[in-house]
Structure 1
């Protein structure tokens, strides 16, 4: 996690605690941040790295044969200001994605995780388990990262979603005023 406090920190911490309680402890390669692209498009994000196979390998030579997730799984959360939505960037608000890590540290094209943008920790755990078991398959770049899943949205929103949304909105408004 970052050393400065960001609006999403308590939420991502709650997600991490739920994953840990479910036996899916995030690795040390998990963090929250704020960022920008092209100097104008600001957003909040979080990356949670999981090692569901217990076989995290730094490269293909170290990978254990047959490991389902030899390099790990990323759970990605983002909140966007919507500033450049008219240019193909995401609309204002939050969403979850997942991606499989590759040996070189890059990842497959992220796919939508079928949960609410402010999903409850239990919903993220359930969705992560379905990704790990391959019930939810990765989407393809050419179909917009839509996962192979027809089970609808998983779970409920976080009980503190209004507080989180207000904090993200305040951050977005502050960014827009600078």
Structure 2
């Protein structure tokens, strides 16, 4: 198993979530391929709320999704270059709702991700309507700050993207 540029970052976010009383389960990092044309970095964190005070409102849990895109095909409708955090509610069958952008920086501090997740769980931040895919119902602006190691992470992601573009 090879190390990916975002492994340490996602581990730090996982620790922050667990410390905040938001127990993580099934944390995965990967490099993914889309339509056979380009790769992107991905992380999925499942927050299991079954044994918390939020179990009734979130019986199947919450997904936090982080992606870093190379921007290679942004002109064709693919995501812009850089990182983004999203969230989605899990359903009973293991699928999830349409992911909605989490109002944090792409390289948000782990504490900011935990704070934003708390706001999602309390329904202060909600998923957008189907005609407004990806937009959160939230007017509180960006939550928190960037991770203190964001410059190093960005450089590592850029280097990874340059290497992938060669292939």
Q: TM-score surpassing 0.5?
A: yes
| From 45, 50, 53, the counterpart of 1:48 | 45
Once residues 92 and 137 of structure 1 are traced to their aligned partners in structure 2, the CA distance between those partners, rounded to angstroms, is 25
Q: Structure 1 regions of 5+ residues with no counterpart? A: 56-65
Q: 2:68–2:83: 8 Å Cα contact kept in structure 1? A: yes
TM-score by length of 2: 0.95
Once residues 146 and 121 of structure 2 are traced to their aligned partners in structure 1, the CA distance between those partners, rounded to angstroms, is 21
Once residues 130 and 156 of structure 2 are traced to their aligned partners in structure 1, the CA distance between those partners, rounded to angstroms, is 32
Q: Could you say which residue in structure 1 is the equivalent of 2:12? A: 14
| From 67, 71, 81, the counterpart of 2:70 | 81
CA offset at residue 52 of structure 1? Answer: 2.4
Across the aligned residues of Structure 1 and Structure 2, the Cα RMSD in angstroms comes to 1.2
Once residues 101 and 5 of structure 2 are traced to their aligned partners in structure 1, the CA distance between those partners, rounded to angstroms, is 22
| From 29, 34, 50, the counterpart of 2:31 | 34
Once residues 166 and 34 of structure 1 are traced to their aligned partners in structure 2, the CA distance between those partners, rounded to angstroms, is 16
CA offset at residue 142 of structure 1? Answer: 1.7
TM-score by length of 1: 0.90
Q: Secondary structure at the match of 2:24?
A: coil
| From 138, 141, 153, the counterpart of 2:142 | 153
Once residues 41 and 131 of structure 2 are traced to their aligned partners in structure 1, the CA distance between those partners, rounded to angstroms, is 25
Choose 16-25 or 105-114, whichever is displaced more.
16-25
CA offsets 1:66-99 (integer angstroms, 9 cap, x no match): 8111111000000001111011111110000000
CA offsets 1:120-148 (integer angstroms, 9 cap, x no match): 00100100000000000012232122011
The number of equivalent residue pairs is: 165
